[in-house]
């Protein structure tokens, strides 16, 4: 579901809308908007607080139907929790819960006053942007037609108006663009792998470029990559009937001679593990192994929609890893585009094998100011950080600090892991320059160390999003991360 957002100056007691949204803290403390509703409705909120029907617990929701004295047909009262401990993460949570409650009502629009709730250290533009992005995330529904959905006879939520000051307009404009990028990333990652294969991703990129005059797209097929020497990337795709694609989008938003920033995303459209076959249970989640590709494409779309005054490239190696008589094997030695030779110890450590050639290509072709890759790279990162933080690795402290700051701003957080040379010896090989795995210890870090061998001389950082790109379980959906983090990083670069 795509929500439409708008900004308006409105009073909660006079807003003509199917539903007004206000917040209440624990212990019955009302926000200013809730107090105005309570006054107009003859104490309706306070009575429910006193009776215990409105607890104020964070994320709880209560609907007041047709309260007297109000122009709105309903009032949705959202619990904010303790005011003393109210923070940015709590604000995001209550905005999501409010939207989930709205989607359960037979309404097509609402006016929300949550963006006026004070959040320590955050301005009105941040509050509005975060409220809108949280709402869009909560309202998302997988829209592919493979699972028919009966059309509801009731109205469905399609728009939210936020009551906030005009100074917050920038936040709303950014939210609309970032939300589009997040939705694109989620929809692409949620598609089944028989639809979303390398050619499909390439087609999506070409279509986007054709609809935006400042964007161009180059797609290399497997024959062109073979001529150029993409020996590592092509090995991973040898067992699949779906040939690999190397997709490069370029956006010129700055001066034509200005070096671009670069985003590179792992695009394994399905990962069986290859000859090192994965266990069957849970393998269906490996359609999400192109979450890095989806994320960088979403961030690219957000940057273009915001019209950022930067130059940006987005490179996606799109490959399917399948077992076949032609598949690459453990003990094969590959020659990468950089010339570095790689001993394959496990064909399920394939993401780094496509990324190393893509990183080399990006550095050689575009000479970027900075290069960020995003990849659902290691289960080890999920063990280390769980589902809450993406793993961040970089030898550049300033670049790492920029990305960590962007994550804190957007609540799409990352946590830095070491990339010390001490770990590099785990990748030693007796048969090639480097092995593609470093053993069971520090698996996320040695994967980052592997990629660092191909980014010498580059200002580069790696995001391992294996834990954050999708929600677990049979009904788990793609999250769209790290689109918000990367979009904020690009906003900061545009200055």
Read off the pLDDT of residues 226-282 as tens digits, 9 standing for 90 and up: 999 999 999 999 999 999 999 999 999 999 999 999 999 999 999 999 999 999 999
Determine, yes or no, domain membership for 420.
yes
Q: Confidence class of residue 145 from pLDDT cuts 50, 70 and 90?
A: low
- In angstroms, how far is CA 97 from the centroid of its own chain? 19
The total of structural domains in the chain comes to 2
Nearest to 245 by CA among 275, 274, 224: 224
What would the two tokens of residue 13 be?
A: 């007691």
CATH code, domain with 39: 3.40.220.10
Question: Across all residues in the chain, what is the average pLDDT?
Answer: 96
Q: Confidence class of residue 149 from pLDDT cuts 50, 70 and 90?
A: low
Determine, yes or no, domain membership for 384.
yes
Beta-bridge mates of residue 75: 20, 64
Domain check: are 253 and 393 in the same one?
A: yes
Domain check: are 216 and 153 in the same one?
A: no
Beta-bridge mates of residue 232: none
Mean pLDDT, residues 443-469: 98
- How confident is the model over 467-495, as pLDDT tens digits? 999 998 888 999 999 999 999 999 999 97
Mean pLDDT, residues 307-332: 98
Please report the pLDDT score of residue 148 as a whole number.
Answer: 66
Task: Please say which residue of 165, 199, 231 terminates a domain.
Answer: 165
Residue 181 vs residues 135, 156, 178, 305, 308: alpha-carbon distances, Å: 15, 23, 5, 9, 14
Pairing of strands 434-435, 341-343: parallel
Please report the pLDDT score of residue 1 as a whole number.
Answer: 62
Nearest to 124 by CA among 160, 158, 170: 170
Nearest to 367 by CA among 295, 222, 259: 259
Catalytic residue at 127?
A: no
Determine, yes or no, domain membership for 360.
yes
Determine, yes or no, domain membership for 430.
yes
Supply φ then ψ for residue 96, to 5 degrees. Answer: -65, -45
Name, in order, each residue with C-beta under 8 angstroms of 437's C-beta and a sequence gap of 6 or more: 345, 346, 349, 427, 443, 446
Determine, yes or no, domain membership for 265.
yes
Domain check: are 401 and 437 in the same one?
A: yes
Answer yes or no: pTM beyond 0.85: yes
Instruction: Answer whether 55's CB lies under 8 Å from 79's CB.
Output: yes
Determine, yes or no, domain membership for 171.
no
Task: Please say which residue of 122, 142, 165 terminates a domain.
Answer: 165
**Is the predicted pLDDT of residue 428 greater than 90, yes or no?**
yes
- Its domain, for residue 201, covers 176-494
Please report the pLDDT score of residue 473 as a whole number.
Answer: 84
Domain check: are 11 and 91 in the same one?
A: yes
| Active-site position among 73, 93, 100, 278 | 278
Q: Confidence class of residue 147 from pLDDT cuts 50, 70 and 90?
A: low
Please report the pLDDT score of residue 93 as a whole number.
Answer: 98
What would the two tokens of residue 348 be?
A: 């399920």
Domain check: are 147 and 15 in the same one?
A: yes
Nearest to 137 by CA among 145, 129, 146: 129
**Is the predicted pLDDT of residue 424 greater than 70, yes or no?**
yes
Peptide bond into 318 cis (omega under 30): no
**Is the predicted pLDDT of residue 446 greater than 70, yes or no?**
yes
Instruction: Answer whether 292's CB lies under 8 Å from 390's CB.
Output: no
Instruction: Answer whether 198's CB lies under 8 Å from 209's CB.
Output: no
Nearest to 268 by CA among 149, 182, 355, 148: 355
As a whole-number percent, the residues of the chain with pLDDT over 90 amount to 94
Instruction: Answer whether 374's CB lies under 8 Å from 465's CB.
Output: yes
Instruction: Answer whether 105's CB lies under 8 Å from 157's CB.
Output: yes
Instruction: Answer whether 168's CB lies under 8 Å from 213's CB.
Output: no
Mean pLDDT, residues 199-205: 98
Rounded Cα–Cα distance for residues 124 and 118 (Å): 8
Determine, yes or no, domain membership for 170.
no
Please report the pLDDT score of residue 92 as a whole number.
Answer: 98
Domain check: are 68 and 108 in the same one?
A: yes
Largest CA distance in the chain: 81
Please report the pLDDT score of residue 135 as a whole number.
Answer: 98
Name, in order, each residue with C-beta under 8 angstroms of 96's C-beta and a sequence gap of 6 or more: 59, 134, 135, 137, 138
Q: How many helices (H) and strands (E) does the chain have?
A: 14, 18
Letter string b/e over residues 441-461, b meaning 16 or more CB atoms within 10 A of that residue's CB = ebbbbbbbbbbbbbbeebbbb
Domain check: are 198 and 276 in the same one?
A: yes
Q: Quickly list DSSP for 90-131.
A: HHHHHHHHHHHHHHTSS-SEEEE-GGGS--TT--HHHHHHHH
Compute how many other C-beta atoms are within 10 angstroms of the C-beta atom of residue 161. Answer: 17
Task: Write 286-290 long-range contacts (CB < 8 A, 24+).
Answer: 286/193, 287/189, 287/191, 287/192, 287/193, 287/196, 288/189, 288/376, 288/469, 288/470, 288/478, 289/351, 289/376, 290/188, 290/189, 290/196, 290/201, 290/265, 290/266, 290/318, 290/376
Catalytic residue at 278?
A: yes
| Active-site position among 127, 245, 352, 493 | 352
Q: Classify 339 as helix, strand or coil.
A: coil
Please report the pLDDT score of residue 2 as a whole number.
Answer: 84
Percentages (nearest 5) of helix, strand, coil residues in the chain: 40, 20, 40
Nearest to 168 by CA among 9, 376, 347, 338: 9
Domain check: are 206 and 108 in the same one?
A: no
Determine, yes or no, domain membership for 451.
yes
Domain check: are 104 and 240 in the same one?
A: no
Domain check: are 383 and 290 in the same one?
A: yes
Task: Please say which residue of 136, 165, 194 terminates a domain.
Answer: 165
Domain check: are 138 and 220 in the same one?
A: no
Domain check: are 289 and 389 in the same one?
A: yes
Q: Quickly list DSSP for 352-404.
A: HHHHHHHHHHHHHHH--SEEEEEE---HHHHHHHTTT-EEEEES-HHHHHHHH
CATH code, domain with 306: 3.40.630.10
């Amino acid at each position: 579901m795509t929500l439409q957002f708008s900004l308006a100056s409105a009073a909660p007691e006079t807003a003509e809308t199917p539903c007004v949204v206000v917040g209440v803290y624990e212990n019955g403390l009302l926000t200013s908007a809730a107090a105005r509703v309570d006054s107009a409705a003859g104490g309706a909120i306070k009575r429910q607080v006193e009776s215990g029907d409105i607890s104020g617990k964070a994320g709880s929701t209560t609907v007041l139907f047709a309260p007297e004295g109000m122009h709105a047909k309903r009032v949705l009262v959202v619990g904010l929790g303790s005011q003393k401990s109210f923070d940015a993460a709590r604000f995001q949570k209550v905005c999501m819960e409010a939207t989930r409650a709205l989607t359960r009502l037979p309404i097509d629009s609402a006016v929300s006053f949550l963006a006026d709730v004070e959040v320590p250290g955050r301005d009105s533009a941040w509050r509005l942007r975060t409220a809108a992005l949280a709402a869009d995330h909560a309202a998302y529904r997988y829209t592919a037609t493979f699972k028919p959905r009966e059309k509801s006879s009731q109205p469905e939520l399609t728009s939210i108006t936020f009551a906030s000051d005009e100074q917050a307009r920038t936040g709303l404009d950014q939210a609309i663009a970032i939300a589009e990028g997040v939705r694109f990333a989620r929809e692409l990652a949620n598609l089944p792998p028989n639809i979303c294969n390398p050619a499909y991703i390439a087609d999506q990129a070409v279509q986007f470029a054709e609809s935006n005059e400042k964007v161009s797209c180059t797609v290399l097929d497997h024959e062109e990559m073979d001529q150029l020497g993409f020996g590592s990337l092509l090995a991973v795709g040898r067992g699949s009937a779906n040939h690999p694609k190397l997709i490069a989008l370029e956006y010129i938003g700055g001066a034509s001679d200005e070096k671009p920033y670069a985003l590179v995303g792992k695009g394994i459209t399905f990962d069986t593990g290859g000859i090192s076959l994965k266990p069957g249970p849970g393998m269906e989640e490996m359609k999400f192994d192109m979450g890095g590709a989806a994320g960088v494409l979403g961030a690219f779309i957000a940057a273009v929609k915001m019209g950022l005054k930067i130059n940006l490239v987005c490179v996606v190696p799109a490959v399917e890893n399948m077992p076949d008589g032609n598949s690459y094997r453990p003990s094969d030695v590959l020659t990468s585009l950089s010339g570095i030779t790689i001993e394959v110890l496990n064909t399920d450590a394939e993401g780094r094998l496509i990324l190393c050639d893509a990183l080399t290509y990006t550095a050689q072709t575009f000479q970027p100011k900075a290069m960020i890759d995003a990849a659902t790279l290691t289960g080890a990162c999920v063990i280390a950080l769980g589902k809450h933080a993406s793993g961040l690795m970089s030898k550049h402290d300033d670049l790492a600090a920029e990305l960590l700051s962007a994550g804190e701003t957007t609540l799409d957080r990352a946590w830095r892991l070491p990339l010390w040379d001490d770990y590099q010896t785990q990748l030693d090989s007796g048969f090639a320059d480097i092995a593609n795995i470093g053993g069971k210890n520090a698996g996320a870090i040695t994967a980052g160390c592997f990629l660092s061998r191909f980014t010498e001389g580059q200002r580069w950082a790696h995001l391992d999003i294996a834990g954050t790109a999708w929600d677990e379980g049979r009904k788990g959906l793609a999250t769209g991360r790290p689109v918000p983090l990367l979009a904020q990083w690009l906003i900061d670069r545009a200055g």
